């Protein structure tokens, strides 16, 4: 039996539970879960390794109708990840009223084998679960339908075994110990972003981007610098707050999250920078890694 390796794309609507599933399967706090939909803008890769296999999970951004150049770029990523998948996991919420039309449209061009996950069964009853499973069986004729609770997933092993079975024989795509610096920077920026979502109302979170500009690793201390990009001076003022109070709060909690995550002290400095309408400017989107 040779080494297996492949790509698994998790698709589904915002808040279907994709990040929760990823975290359980990968066993690392891979993507930051925030209560607001639409916070996962990148294809976050979680990699599950063993001596015999490597499964690379990509968590596509929640599927939405594009509003900005930014969203269009996110949607291209969704389509890209559907094209290169060895297996697609379609994640649905048991409470959804079958309105996954936009998600299903994305699947039409796909030749990859499909598995449907009916999530949040802990919030439901056996009869409803049976109905849902039958509905998806008939509607999409997938390879399999699993009824799960990503949050209380006890049998991740059986599920992971099934996924590994579906992977082609292939050498590993990434180093086996790849939790790389790019990931560390990414997680640092996600932790700041998570705090911005938590501490501010309305449009602020959606108008900001967080760029980690320096990441100096030390045995006992990481020194991390970040820029928070906004579109207008008024947003900058709100972010910083009176006497810098708001930014201090974001910095404090983001730093505590990082210290827990990296298991060492963190010195964090943050700057707020205005770039008018960065969301509509292709060159900025490119620079921020969206293209």
Q: Which amino acids are annotated as binding site, given as ranges?
A: 12-19, 59-63, 119-122
| Residue 280, C-beta contacts closer than 8 angstroms, at least 6 positions apart | 68, 69, 70
Q: Pick out the residues of the known binding site for GTP.
A: 12-19, 59-63, 119-122
Residue pair 163/187 in contact (Cβ under 8 Å)? The answer is no
What are the b/e assignments for 220-255, b being 16+ CB within 10 Å? Answer: eebebbbbbbbbeeebbebbbeeeeebbeebbebbb
Phi-psi region of 246 (alpha: psi -120 to 50; beta: other; left: phi over 0): alpha
């Amino acid at each position: 039996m040779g080494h297996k390796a492949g790509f698994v794309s998790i698709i589904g609507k915002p808040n279907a539970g994709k990040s929760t599933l990823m975290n359980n399967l990968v066993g690392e706090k891979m993507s930051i879960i925030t209560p607001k939909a639409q916070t996962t803008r990148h294809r976050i890769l979680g990699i599950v390794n063993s001596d015999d296999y490597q499964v690379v999970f990509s968590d596509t951004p929640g599927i939405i109708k594009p509003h900005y150049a930014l969203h269009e770029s996110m949607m291209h990523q969704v389509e890209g990840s559907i094209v290169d998948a060895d297996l697609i996991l379609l994640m649905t919420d048991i409470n959804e009223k079958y309105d996954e039309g936009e998600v299903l449209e994305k699947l039409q061009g796909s030749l990859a084998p499909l598995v449907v996950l009916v999530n949040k069964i802990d919030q439901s009853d056996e009869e409803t679960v049976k109905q849902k499973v039958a509905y998806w069986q008939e509607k999409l004729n997938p390879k399999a339908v699993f009824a799960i609770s990503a949050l209380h997933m006890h049998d991740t092993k059986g599920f992971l075994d099934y996924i590994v079975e579906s992977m082609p024989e292939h050498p590993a795509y990434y180093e086996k110990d790849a939790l790389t610096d790019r990931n560390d920077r990414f997680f640092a920026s996600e932790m700041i972003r998570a705090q911005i979502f938590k501490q501010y109302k309305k449009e602020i979170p959606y108008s900001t981007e967080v760029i980690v500009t320096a990441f100096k690793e030390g045995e006992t201390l990481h020194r991390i610098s970040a820029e928070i990009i906004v579109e207008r001076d008024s947003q900058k003022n709100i972010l910083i707050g009176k006497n810098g109070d708001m930014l201090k709060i974001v910095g404090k909690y983001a730093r505590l999250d990082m210290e827990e995550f990296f298991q060492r002290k963190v010195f964090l400095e943050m700057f707020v920078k205005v770039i008018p309408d960065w969301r509509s400017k292709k060159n900025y989107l490119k620079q921020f890694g969206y293209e």
